[in-house]
């Protein structure tokens, strides 16, 4: 509002901002204005007014005004001081707007952004700890059952020391695998490249079968390797791929052990598929529920009472990190098949 006509203060434009409850005869003055400005904003307003009086071309300020008995209002003031020929301040021309609603919206937005950032962090932490718990479960269970077996052997009148020594070797290997898993997950979540090495997909599959054989037997099931004749060289992180195949085999065990339990060996097949190696895990369980088929690779999708629903989503990101693909379908004669397709190292 222009200050012309208001003789008592050059800053009438500013002081004319008043809460609806205030009266117009509330004589404006610089001191009165400053007294109504929020204490935290007062020094800045004072500085801006001083600068304007000493020749600053224009003023722009945002501050809180404290109307008598009301909630603070946010005010945005813009304008300039006009001077006479002697350089004395003559009047203020400017405008002051009540921007309380906009400020509140901005503050709410800021608050929401903070919440979203926090939630994203929590989700990331949840995912990381969930993934760690999920993947470490297997080696930790193996270490526990091996340690219990060793205690049973040692409790016998004539312990078989050679057997215990072998169990200890297994424990050390499982412990090392747990360490490798932690390293691998840190790389996965840290988005670092993982070290690749040239390896034969069939040897990898064979090694995995040896690792899971005890688990499979404990489920009352069996696993059969169909590894084909020709070597299939791929560039891969062996620990990551081991983890994918172990996950798929353990899922197959769960599917096949669930009632009505079905016999028939779970198959781990290795074959060439054009320029790629195709690793398949085929089971004779109940198959994947049709409504879940499109979602089983999403995180936190599980049908198991104690499942976390993270295994397949991790497996798929590992496959993608190897320029490979992982997909699933139900078999025409029952059960499900999961296929991991990885480019051959020498593929053009
Ligand atoms: P989790 O094993 O913790 O449930 P996964 O991501 O490994 O997590 O699996 C997600 C879901 O996919 C399982 O809960 C199950 O419903 C389904 N699923 C996975 N593998 C099979 C399979 N071989 N046969 C049938 N359903 C499966």
How remote is the CA of residue 252 from the centroid of ligand 1, in Å?
A: 8
- Dihedral angle at the C-alpha atoms of 260, 263, 266, 267, nearest 10 degrees? -130
Q: Give the residue, by CA position, lying nearest to ligand 1 atom 13.
A: 302
Rounded to whole angstroms, how far apart are CA atoms 248 and 227?
16
How remote is the CA of residue 304 from the centroid of ligand 1, in Å?
A: 8
**What are 253's two structure tokens?**
């065990």
Q: Which atom of ligand 1 is nearest to the CA of 301?
A: 10
**What are 337's two structure tokens?**
């098949």
Give the position of tokens 């695998």: 177
* Full pLDDT tens readout for the chain, 348 residues: 333 333 333 343 444 444 444 444 445 577 888 889 999 899 999 999 889 888 888 999 999 999 888 889 999 999 999 998 988 888 889 999 999 999 888 888 777 776 766 666 666 666 667 777 878 888 898 999 999 999 999 999 999 999 999 999 999 999 988 888 787 766 666 545 567 899 999 999 998 898 888 778 878 899 999 998 889 999 998 888 988 998 899 999 999 988 777 778 999 999 999 999 999 999 999 999 999 999 999 888 889 887 778 889 888 888 988 999 999 999 999 999 999 999 999 876
**What is the DSSP code (8-state) at residue 292?**
G
Q: Which atom of ligand 1 is nearest to the CA of 303?
A: 14
Considering the entire predicted model, what is its pTM?
Answer: 0.56
Test site for ligand 1: of 283, 296, 315, 319, most ligand atoms within 8 A of the Cβ:
296
- Runs of H (alpha helix) within 156-308: 161-190, 201-218, 238-257
Q: Which atom of ligand 1 is nearest to the CA of 308?
A: 3
Rounded to whole angstroms, how far apart are CA atoms 254 and 215?
11
Give the three-class secondary structure for 317.
helix
Q: Residues with beta carbon inside 6 Å of ligand 1? A: 247, 251-252, 255, 283, 285, 287-288, 292, 296, 301-304, 307-313, 336
Rounded to whole angstroms, how far apart are CA atoms 335 and 267?
11
Test site for ligand 1: of 132, 251, 313, most ligand atoms within 8 A of the Cβ:
251
């Amino acid at each position: 509002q222009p200050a012309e006509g208001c003789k008592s203060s050059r800053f009438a434009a500013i002081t004319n901002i008043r809460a609806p409850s205030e009266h117009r005869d509330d004589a404006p003055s610089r001191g009165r204005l400053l007294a109504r400005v929020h204490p935290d904003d007062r020094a800045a307003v004072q500085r801006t007014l001083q600068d304007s009086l000493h020749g600053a071309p224009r003023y722009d300020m945002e501050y809180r005004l404290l109307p008598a008995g009301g909630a603070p209002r946010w005010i945005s003031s813009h304008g300039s001081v006009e001077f006479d020929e002697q350089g004395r301040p003559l009047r203020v021309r400017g405008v002051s707007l009540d921007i309380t609603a906009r400020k509140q919206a901005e503050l709410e937005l800021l608050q929401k952004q903070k919440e979203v950032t926090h939630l994203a962090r929590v989700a990331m932490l949840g995912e990381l700890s969930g993934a760690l718990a999920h993947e470490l479960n297997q080696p930790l269970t193996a270490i526990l059952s091996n340690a219990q077996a060793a205690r049973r052997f040692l409790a016998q009148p004539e312990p078989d020391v050679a057997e215990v020594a072998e169990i200890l070797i297994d424990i050390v290997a499982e412990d090392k695998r747990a360490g490798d898993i932690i390293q691998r997950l840190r790389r996965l979540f840290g988005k670092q490249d993982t070290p690749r090495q040239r390896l034969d997909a069939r040897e990898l599959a064979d090694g995995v079968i040896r690792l899971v054989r005890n688990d499979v037997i404990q489920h009352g099931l069996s696993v059969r390797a169909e590894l084909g004749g020709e070597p299939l060289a791929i560039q891969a992180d062996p620990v990551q791929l081991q983890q994918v195949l172990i996950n798929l085999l353990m899922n197959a065990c769960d599917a096949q052990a669930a009632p009505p339990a079905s016999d028939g060996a779970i198959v781990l097949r290795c074959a060439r598929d054009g320029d790629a190696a195709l690793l398949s895990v085929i089971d004779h369980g109940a198959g994947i529920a049709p409504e879940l088929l499109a979602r089983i690779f999403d995180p936190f999708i599980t049908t198991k009472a104690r499942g976390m629903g993270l295994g397949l989503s991790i497996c798929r990101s590992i496959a993608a990190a190897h320029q490979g693909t992982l997909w699933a379908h139900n078999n025409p004669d029952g059960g499900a098949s999961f296929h991991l397709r990885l480019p051959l190292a020498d593929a053009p």
